[in-house]
Chains A and B, each alone.
Chain A
């Protein structure tokens, strides 16, 4: 419930860059490519696991038009992580710019920079490489078996924070926690469910693949323009990897053509920077779509075991969640993703006995990374499927079962303290939770009352309904920091300079709304610049559902400070006390008795008339809470019981994100996340051959929905007021992707009795499950 009336906040204003983008104005990295830029192409390993025994680049180097060839023999060997995270990173240091060991099909062998793409490609073909092919690890279950091939046997591999890390066993991270006693909880239960679930590989598929360019300026600094969610982490990691000072690197982020987490990673920038240094020419590298699938990052596949005990009355007595996570060839984000699998779902239902284990393993497959939902997507599938399986066992309506157990305002959970991001978490009580209203509104919209058990259904085409409840977080408490600079111009407009990184979500608009609201002016008076490591203050970047909540508070703080300065100048000009004044409609006005000066007059006065100074300030913010947004999702599906094909008829997402700063953009976040989740649940799938090569790295075979596949979609924003957030706001961007896997799995079961526990829910799996009477032998995943 919004407690206040707002002027700019909570209004569906035009997104500030919308028209520029709709007009097709140059905005993205590729639009700024100089025509004389050298083009970079990368030779990828043909083997999933191999050692280069010899490599000859001489012919490529001699080719006319080739300016530089990089490989492990001519670059510094500096171990680092590609994960764009805070320092010291919770991800292990296990990656080099180039290495003589190949760890997945597509791994970097050598890069060429040439006058044209054609020349670069031709040069790759004349690089002679011989490999000693090693047996690969291609299945998650095999990674930690005795005698398994070791993916990271290099001596440099290490963890930089104190967490379990045993690369000789292919173990990239591990976390374990128990609250109460799980076994005791299960023993007290009337019913126990114990199932395995597997969520599959998936890719973010930003329509703009990774793209970076760089040049060396006249002061010998490397200027990198790149499609990144983490410009400051990018600067730090590039400097580290090239062994140059941070001051020699500038990272500029123009508009980004989608990220969803995959651009929270240093994938191209190290090579682009090195090529610029070596050639002194502008260089440009963009991934092909195939490279984007294979060589950027993916969702960590997880093999999960979920145990739950409950009493007949619906009391949950024990929850055990074991996640075996496949981080692929590098350990990027492995620990923190699996931590989130526990910390973002386990507090959702009250329970005294909880055990969680997350084990992250290396394989010779594409690397996992940050992906919208970040571990919660995986756990939500297991958890919310199991909630339905338990509801069936104890004979309760799954909606009732969830309603009686879910966390509510004022509650806390021991999980919050026990599990943080690679370390202990932070105690917090829930201060805003409208999950109950989300469930109610969603159930009404989908028509939950019509829901009948699958045993009552007949005919070839059968419909069913399923639901899922979700929570996420808003920023990483006590770790993430955001900052903003605000300064006033002569016409009463303001420059808002932020490290916060709009990756297409509209955060520039949302943050400008917060500034305008606080300053008493309109959105068009805020000129946003984000992000540029030379120009804007630090921000961790766009991840962990942090921008509105964390960077929003930094903006609100700096706007408060600037507002004070404005009032002080206004008081001088109106010859009164600042406390007698307020701001409204871009003016300072006397609360009583009349008298006003415009912002423009104030700015001119402060710049040119007396006691001159720049009205402006900087503010940084860390947060002490990570208030979860909540959501209830409902799906109605139709199953063709002869072919097993599943069609989503309607999808309802009801979400509590506190105050939606921009309701349309908040809805857009939900709709985009839900749609992504629906295709992930039903059609998106990595197919590998038995050598670890991905067979379908293109949009022809890896299917995203188009407008013509869209089911009826309904988004319901259920406002609450999060008192620690800017104008009552919490996050919204990630949570929506977590619902479709479980909601659709539950709906399929309700339609036809088939219980699918491995994604994606293909027609063949549903058909096989129906053949087997609803149960399907658990299919082993990758």
Chain B
């Protein structure tokens, strides 16, 4: 296959990868060890593959890897860790919003993109910005509670 090199900023680090022309971004990420981004439907309909590109949430399962050449990509691995979890991660964990957890990274990425754009996001904002993230476990109640607690509108911090 016709491998070509692309370079982009991945979690604040400039990285180069050899890719195949028809490789999707999620395949590139997962084979490169970024397995926090999940594949749930392969058609851009479930949001478990959501990553942030240039500040906006997108579905890595339908985006081609070549399209991120020169751009800025953020995955769940860049968001937090045990010693410095992101407030969204703490809120999700504490609200009981993580059941099976498969959709959780995508939800956190979507909410992070929103809060960076609008720190005082309202319930309506969350509803709209997370309408691309399916969760089958929680019924969304505790997720919404967790996300809202991170909005400055409710005194939260993100």
Residues of A within 8 A of B (CB): 12, 14-15, 17-28, 30-31, 35, 204-209, 255-260, 286, 288-289, 503-506, 662, 664-665, 667-668, 670-676, 698-700, 704-708, 710, 713, 715
Partner of A672, one of B79, B105, B137: B137
State in angstroms the CA–CA spacing of A665 and B102 once bound together.
16
- Given A30-B39, A699-B46, decide whether A713 and B134 contact each other with a Cβ distance below 8 A: no
For A17, the closest partner residue in chain B by CB is: B101
For B140, the closest partner residue in chain A by CB is: A707
- Given A19-B82, A698-B41, A708-B127, decide whether A260 and B98 contact each other with a Cβ distance below 8 A: no
What residues of chain B lie closer than 8 Å to A705, measured between beta carbons? Answer: 140
- 7 further interface pairs, Cβ-Cβ under 8 Å (given A504-B102, A672-B136): A668-B139, A672-B99, A675-B138, A698-B43, A707-B126, A707-B133, A710-B144
Q: Shortest beta-carbon distance, A313 to chain B, in Å?
A: 39
- Given A207-B134, A668-B137, decide whether A707 and B143 contact each other with a Cβ distance below 8 A: yes
Q: Are B100 and A23 in contact, with the CB atoms below 8 A?
A: no
Binary per-residue interface labels of chain B (88-122) against chain A in the complex, 1 for a CB within 8 Å, 0 otherwise: 11101111111111111100100000000000000
What residues of chain A lie closer than 8 Å to B40, measured between beta carbons? Answer: 207-209, 257, 289
Q: Are B102 and A707 in contact, with the CB atoms below 8 A?
A: no
What residues of chain A lie closer than 8 Å to B156, measured between beta carbons? Answer: none
Partner of B138, one of A23, A25, A668: A668
B4: interface (CB < 8 Å): no
State in angstroms the CA–CA spacing of A510 and B140 once bound together.
21
State in angstroms the CA–CA spacing of A762 and B43 once bound together.
25
For B78, the closest partner residue in chain A by CB is: A24
Q: Are A207 and B135 in contact, with the CB atoms below 8 A?
A: yes
Pairs A-B, 4 closest by C-beta atoms? A24-B36, A504-B100, A21-B101, A257-B102
- Given A22-B89, A260-B136, A710-B140, decide whether A503 and B100 contact each other with a Cβ distance below 8 A: yes
Q: Are A713 and B142 in contact, with the CB atoms below 8 A?
A: no
B7: interface (CB < 8 Å): no
Q: Are B142 and A22 in contact, with the CB atoms below 8 A?
A: no
What residues of chain B lie closer than 8 Å to A27, measured between beta carbons? Answer: 101
Q: Shortest beta-carbon distance, B18 to chain A, in Å?
A: 14
What residues of chain A lie closer than 8 Å to B89, measured between beta carbons? Answer: 19, 22-23
Partner of B96, one of A15, A23, A206, A503: A15
What residues of chain A lie closer than 8 Å to B134, measured between beta carbons? Answer: 205, 207, 699, 704, 706
Interface CB pairs A-B, < 8 A, 21: A19-B93, A23-B36, A24-B77, A26-B35, A27-B101, A204-B136, A207-B48, A207-B102, A208-B40, A286-B39, A289-B45, A667-B141, A670-B139, A698-B43, A699-B41, A699-B43, A707-B144, A708-B130, A710-B140, A710-B144, A713-B141
State in angstroms the CA–CA spacing of A706 and B132 once bound together.
7
Q: Shortest beta-carbon distance, B114 to chain A, in Å?
A: 12
Q: Are B139 and A672 in contact, with the CB atoms below 8 A?
A: yes
Partner of A706, one of B36, B37, B108, B130: B130
For A211, the closest partner residue in chain B by CB is: B39
B80: interface (CB < 8 Å): yes
- Given A207-B136, A257-B38, A706-B131, decide whether A668 and B142 contact each other with a Cβ distance below 8 A: yes
- Given A14-B94, A18-B98, decide whether A28 and B38 contact each other with a Cβ distance below 8 A: yes
State in angstroms the CA–CA spacing of A715 and B141 once bound together.
10
Q: Are A207 and B108 in contact, with the CB atoms below 8 A?
A: no
State in angstroms the CA–CA spacing of A210 and B98 once bound together.
20
Among the interface residues A12, A27, A707, A710, which one has the most CB atoms of the partner chain B within 10 A? A707
State in angstroms the CA–CA spacing of A17 and B75 once bound together.
20
Q: Are A664 and B98 in contact, with the CB atoms below 8 A?
A: no
Q: Are B101 and A505 in contact, with the CB atoms below 8 A?
A: no
State in angstroms the CA–CA spacing of A392 and B99 once bound together.
41
Among the interface residues B30, B130, B139, which one has the most CB atoms of the partner chain A within 10 A? B139
Q: Are B38 and A208 in contact, with the CB atoms below 8 A?
A: yes
Which residues of B (36-90) have their CB < 8 Å from a CB of A?
36-43, 45-46, 48, 75-77, 79-82, 85, 88-90
State in angstroms the CA–CA spacing of A671 and B144 once bound together.
12
